[in-house]
Amino acid sequence: MLLTAGCAGPAARYRGDGSVRETTEWDRIRLESLRLSMLWQLHPRTARRIHDRILSGEQLERLLDDLEALRISPRTRAVLTKVPSADEAWELSERLPQLGIEFRMASDPGYPAGLAEIPDPPPFLFRRGGCWDAGWPRPVIGIIGSRAASRSGREIARTLARDLALSGATIVSGLARGIDAEAHHGALAADGCTIGVLGAGLDVVYPPEHESLQSRMLAAGGIVSEFPPGTPPLPLHFPRRNRILAALVDVLVVVEGTEKSGARSTVDHALDQGREVLAVPRDPVIPGSALPNRLLYEGALPALSAREVIEAAGAGDALSAPRSLRESTRFGTRRPTRGGTDSTVIGADTAKICSAARADTNRSTDPGSPAETHPGDPNPSPPAPDAPADLKAQVRRCLDTGPRGLAELSASLSAPIAALQAALSELEVLGWVLRDQGRYRRR
């Protein structure tokens, strides 16, 4: 069985180990690409270089015979000597349909556009599920957090995913224990679309107790991986998984996590890729509160309900969204205000965190800024303005060259994230800047 119906080409013979099979030139390219993809130990950048040469008409076997011409390190050359045989690739191509798995190259239709824009994009993807060809409902929201999640964190992740799915969003997570699993369950509870990004082969159920969850996801969404079938879930695979997860989403929401966790890795990838990152304010006594609260301190927007997430995704005014979104759950309790009207609160501790985070977005984090005061100072400096005029001008000039993500602007202008958030907010209100899928551009 051929890998897929490709464009017709001149007849060619693809010789395996002692066998000869008739294929088109396009099928030869796909088969050699599959063979290369089976070497999951190969760095994506090197795999992409070799794959580009295969696409240009060179044969993999000849490339492997002259590894020195590829200008790669001795260690990489040693890895390439372990490329599976042609027959092994052919056998996998016949087994993929039986597993319900599709093989996609970066040049294929349906390869996620967001992946093509990141550093070292995966040249190959394996996907499984029923939502690929029809496209995912937008916006696409990533929800991530700790494996060893708190009870409240699990409830928040499930509730947020459910409310977002009811509003029509697609939920993406990593199918791990804890927050990931709750996000997938929440989307499924709303009959929504949910995608799992794996750090193993798609025929490997990990963790084992998620077999039922994964089966339900295949009917309501799908799973995806850059690793071929049979690849074990090794720790070194998950940073690679995280960059794909970040690239697939419009907005990333952090529920729980430590500052040195895999969730932090995903956040860093998302910021580098220009995605909007939100965090759920958490009580500091919760072990997993460190990462979301740190992100809020650094200027991330608070995710108090599905409404804020949808607004951050630029998917329209939440007030005109479906009823389910307007009445989405806020993470806390409701009590009357002094005026007798209902007001949603999130608890004293997390309210303080939110207040501190919002205050931080309105001042420079430079310890030498004019807003800094010291105990006993008889003439404290006046508070700094929300955003200096010169910073706003710098932002406008930077955006003249094209859309930029928050992390890109921070690096280009050497400006703190918090100060940039304030400047961009003012520019949006003035109508000079537009936020689109986590990136900012001039109107």
Q: What is the CATH number of the domain that holds 420?
A: 1.10.10.10
pLDDT at 229: 95
Are 71 and 9 found together in one domain?
yes
pLDDT at 180: 97
Does a structural domain hold residue 102?
no
* Confidence label for 76 from pLDDT (cuts 50, 70 and 90): confident
Helices 406-413, 262-272: crossing angle, 10 deg rounding: 70
Are 244 and 173 found together in one domain?
yes
Are 266 and 144 found together in one domain?
yes
Assess whether pLDDT exceeds 80 at residue 212.
yes
pLDDT at 13: 46
Amino acid identity of residue 247, one-letter, is: A
Are 436 and 322 found together in one domain?
no
Assess whether pLDDT exceeds 60 at residue 301.
yes
Q: How many Å apart are CA 412 and CA 397, to the nearest integer? A: 11
Q: What is the pLDDT of residues 346-393, one digit of tens each?
A: 333 333 333 333 333 333 333 333 333 333 333 333 333 345 668 888
> 292 versus 326: which is more confidently predicted?
292
Exposed/middle/buried for residue 58 (C-beta within 10 Å: 0-12, 13-18, 19+): middle
pLDDT at 381: 33
Antiparallel, parallel or unpaired: β 251-254 and 140-144: parallel
> 110 versus 195: which is more confidently predicted?
195
pLDDT-wise least confident of 158-167, 189-198, 235-244, 331-340:
331-340
pLDDT at 342: 32
Mean pLDDT of 309-321: 68
Assess whether pLDDT exceeds 90 at residue 109.
no
Domain boundary among 286, 304, 326: 326
pLDDT-wise least confident of 61-65, 141-145, 295-299, 306-310:
61-65
The pair of three-digit structure tokens given for residue 253, joined into one six-digit string: 């929401």
Q: How many Å apart are CA 338 and CA 113, to the nearest integer? A: 50
pLDDT at 375: 33
Are 210 and 86 found together in one domain?
no
Assess whether pLDDT exceeds 70 at residue 152.
yes
The residues that bridge with 440 in the sheet, in sequence order, are 404, 435
Are 312 and 238 found together in one domain?
yes
* Confidence label for 194 from pLDDT (cuts 50, 70 and 90): very high
Are 262 and 159 found together in one domain?
yes
Residues of the domain holding 287: 140-326
Does a structural domain hold residue 359?
no
Does a structural domain hold residue 131?
no
Does a structural domain hold residue 344?
no
Assess whether pLDDT exceeds 90 at residue 177.
yes
Q: What is the CATH number of the domain that holds 304?
A: 3.40.50.450
Domain boundary among 326, 357, 378: 326
Does a structural domain hold residue 300?
yes
Are 172 and 267 found together in one domain?
yes
Does a structural domain hold residue 363?
no
Are 262 and 317 found together in one domain?
yes
Exposed/middle/buried for residue 384 (C-beta within 10 Å: 0-12, 13-18, 19+): middle
Are 63 and 174 found together in one domain?
no
- Number of domains observed in the structure of the chain: 3
Does a structural domain hold residue 5?
yes
Are 175 and 29 found together in one domain?
no
pLDDT at 132: 64
Instruction: Residue count of the chain, please give it.
Output: 443
What value does the mean pLDDT of the chain take? 79
In sequence order, which residues have a C-beta less than 8 Å from that of residue 25 and are 6 or more positions away?
9, 10, 12
Does a structural domain hold residue 200?
yes
Angle at 173 (CA atoms; ends 129, 329), nearest 5 degrees: 110
Share of the chain above pLDDT 70, in %: 76
Are 145 and 275 found together in one domain?
yes
Mean pLDDT of 329-349: 37
pLDDT at 9: 42
Assess whether pLDDT exceeds 80 at residue 176.
yes
Share of the chain above pLDDT 90, in %: 45
Q: Do residues 180 and 145 touch, judged by C-beta distance below 8 A?
A: yes
Domain boundary among 271, 296, 326: 326
Q: What is the pLDDT of residues 396-440, one digit of tens each?
A: 888 988 888 877 788 788 887 767 877 887 787 677 888 776 678
